[in-house]
Structure 1
Amino acid sequence: MALPRSYETEAEFPHAGFALLSGSSLAADPPLEPAAIGDLLHLLAEVGRGDLGVGRIYEGHVNALLLIRAYGSEAQNAAVRNAAAEGAWLGVWNTDAPGKPLTENDDVLSGAKNFASGVDGLTRAIVTVPDEAGRKMLLMPLADAPVDRSWWDPMGMRGSGSHVVDFTGLKIEDAHRLGQPGDYTREPWFSGGAIRFAAVQTGGLHAVFDVARDHLLRTDRASDPYQAQRLARMGLHVDAAHGWLARGAEAWSAAAADPDDAAKARRLVATANAVRSAVEAAALAVLEEAERAVGAAGFNRPHPLERLVRDLRTYLRQPNPDGALRNLGDAIAAGDWLPGEGA
């Protein structure tokens, strides 16, 4: 999916990319059925391949639609579908601002969320607040929430605009409450959802491969035997990452088809941990190969590899990668997940 990139607007919400997405059914009607999870992951990969910032924000929109579909009322689902059909975009923000956690008291919010990706282009976001029975979800409008943009100044993914949003004083209406306490972190869907950001990352590493290959062809260096080996290794890593997405889709569909099967639920969680770990390793390998293949030219603006390297290396830093790999090891030891076995 060809999405526009610009250094001049790199730190701004990617309006041009989302205008392309709005011109299709991808805002209101992405493939959300469990049986279509493979199509959804392919879509996320293609969006990420076009622009990682757009992919990051779009994955949040998809996550919001999935949560509302699973736990929302008929009225909430209808309202969100209608809003999305008219161009509204949503997000999901769980991380509290340090020293200012989001809480509620007498139907009034206090506190803030940081890493609030996409806030400059979203109309609503699902935010979480603590409860004795588990974190609660609120589907909050964003028009009246102040945004602190001074904090977000990263190396890459600048356009994702993961700012700090202060909800202090905003009143919670009944229509804002989504599902029950604990729904947000309900397994296996909470951990299993990592396959979605891994799909966007796969698109990013595929884009790095595309740019490196184009550079070698344009400079007539692809026939060099060492560069040919780099192309081969990158191609293997890209194809392997897409293969891991297929395994993730298979495990998700199997768990969704039999939600009472604890073994399939455990397998989905373990597979998601495997997918994110394998995709991260593939991305780091492709980045290394591409940087060596292109050389210093790839670190100089406006070469497209320069921004891709910054964006992908930043987006790979998802929470708790060590814990994901440790949990996969535990699942292997317990026999819940073994290499070569299907869902």
Structure 2
Amino acid sequence: MLAAVTDDRFERLQKQYGDDLALAALVEAGADRLPLPGAGETLKRWRALAAVAAHDLSLVKLFEGHTDALAILAELGGDAPDGSLWATWCAEPPDARVAFEAHRDFSRSIADSASSLSPTNAASPTLRLHGTKAWCSGAASVTHAVVSGWNAAGEPCLAAVSMQQPGVTVTEQGWHAVGMAGSASVDVRFDGAHATQLGQPGDYTRRTGFWHGGAGIAACWYGGAWGIARAVHERSGGSKAPHRLAHLGAIDVALAGAAAVLRESAEWIDTHRDADAQAVAMRARLVVEHAAEEVIHHAGRALGAGPLCRDARFARAMADLPVFLRQSHAERDLASLGALALESKAASWML
């Protein structure tokens, strides 16, 4: 495995590409070969996600989806060819579901580049995909995707699909937000596109890596909040304005608490690799979500309208992060975590 993103490596890429840094450049540099979650270096993986997020939240949306797809492929027995750009599209809104049709007669070799198939285990079932997939980040730029859908028995399944084949249409529909506009999260239509099944029905949420990946989203949110906080810090150098300093203090409290929870969560996941990490992941996500909202609130009040109107990077981050945070299910997630808390001992809250 290639080295994960280091601060020095990412700084070099950032200086080389600036605002033009894209997923393809990260992949070409080998920056996508992160430690797998739960393999002993989860915090290193999350630091890489946070570093990309602090630079550009739309970019980390694509980067996280790509690296999550690689982790899913590793867990469920798939492969990714060198230089391929992946996405993970597993949102399941009721009005956009993809049907997986078994296709037993499809026997072309996975290694045949003309097949347009995703390069996964040739022994895996082959499928045809039908329907529209929503929230497909980076659809116009990726080469492959891990897609969720439903088989004829009504079971949830995963498949690896090549985007470079007939039967795949990237639309311009499904995204109107200003925030996270760079993620280009549009609808994709599948009309009989070939795909390869990953794992068994139900494996997407049943596998231990599901909640590991869910916790990794919190690292992206944290990186976005850290990037905003860094701008406040840089613009507050030498300031003696008590209100600005108070806002900076509030930002420090929010980020310090969130960072502590992320470090603790990463250690727990590495120590309990095969355990159910739902409570750990949900707690990390909710703590970081709250901290990020605090950072957004205090950053705007600390700096006023000037940077929001004249600093493109800061303004973009302030618009992007609230949209990205809505990947959380808010009170529904709080209720789920509360139910898990009832099942555990209150002593777990003790120092």
Question: 2:329 aligned with 1:320, yes or no?
Answer: yes
Which residue of 158, 180, 184 maps to 1:157? 180
**Letter matched to residue 314 of structure 1:** V
Q: Give the match for residue 157 of structure 2.
A: 136
**Letter matched to residue 185 of structure 1:** T
Question: 2:167 aligned with 1:171, yes or no?
Answer: no
Q: In the TM superposition, what whole-angstrom CA distance separates every residue of 1:258-295 from its partner, at most 9, and x where no partner exists?
A: x3xxxx42xx2111111111101100101111000110
Q: Compared with structure 1, are the counterparts of its residues 270 and 149 closer, same or farther at alpha carbon in structure 2 (3 Å cutoff)?
A: same
1:59-74 maps to which residues of 2 (within 5 A)?
59-72=64-77
Q: Give the match for residue 297 of structure 1.
A: 306
Q: Give the match for residue 242 of structure 2.
A: 225
Aligned mates of 2:175, 2:156 — CA distance in 1: 26
Q: Compared with structure 1, are the counterparts of its residues 23 and 171 closer, same or farther at alpha carbon in structure 2 (3 Å cutoff)?
A: closer
Q: Give the match for residue 208 of structure 1.
A: 228
Which residue of 55, 72, 78 maps to 1:50? 55
Following superposition, the deviation at residue 26 of structure 1 comes to 1.8
Following superposition, the deviation at residue 106 of structure 1 comes to 4.4
Question: 2:248 aligned with 1:243, yes or no?
Answer: no
1:68-147 maps to which residues of 2 (within 5 A)?
68-72=73-77, 76-77=78-79, 80=80, 83=81, 85=82, 87-96=83-92, 99-107=95-103, 108-131=128-151, 132=153, 134-144=155-165, 145-147=168-170
Which residue of 28, 34, 40 maps to 1:30? 34
Is the partner of 1:32 in helix, strand or coil?
coil
* TM-score (ref. length: structure 1): 0.83
Q: In the TM superposition, what whole-angstrom CA distance separates every residue of 1:20-41 from its partner, at most 9, and x where no partner exists?
A: 41343223x2111521111111
Higher mean alpha-carbon deviation, 223-232 vs 300-309, is at 300-309
Alpha-carbon RMSD across the aligned residues, in angstroms, is 2.2
**Letter matched to residue 62 of structure 1:** T
Structure whose residues are more often strand by fraction: 2
Aligned mates of 1:294, 1:207 — CA distance in 2: 14
**Which structure 2 segments of 5+ residues have no match?**
1-9, 104-127
Is the partner of 2:200 in helix, strand or coil?
coil
Following superposition, the deviation at residue 124 of structure 1 comes to 0.3
Aligned mates of 1:53, 1:18 — CA distance in 2: 10
**Which structure 1 segments of 5+ residues have no match?**
7-14
Is the partner of 1:170 in helix, strand or coil?
strand
- How many residue pairs get aligned? The number is 309
Is the partner of 1:137 in helix, strand or coil?
strand
Which residue of 288, 294, 303 maps to 1:285? 294
> Are 2:24 and 2:85, in contact at CA under 8 Å, matched by a contact in 1?
no
Following superposition, the deviation at residue 96 of structure 1 comes to 4.8
Q: Give the match for residue 11 of structure 1.
A: none
Is the partner of 1:152 in helix, strand or coil?
coil
> Are 2:285 and 2:328, in contact at CA under 8 Å, matched by a contact in 1?
no
**Letter matched to residue 294 of structure 1:** L
Q: Give the match for residue 45 of structure 2.
A: 40
> Are 1:244 and 1:275, in contact at CA under 8 Å, matched by a contact in 2?
yes
Aligned mates of 1:44, 1:228 — CA distance in 2: 29
Q: Compared with structure 1, are the counterparts of its residues 192 and 30 closer, same or farther at alpha carbon in structure 2 (3 Å cutoff)?
A: closer
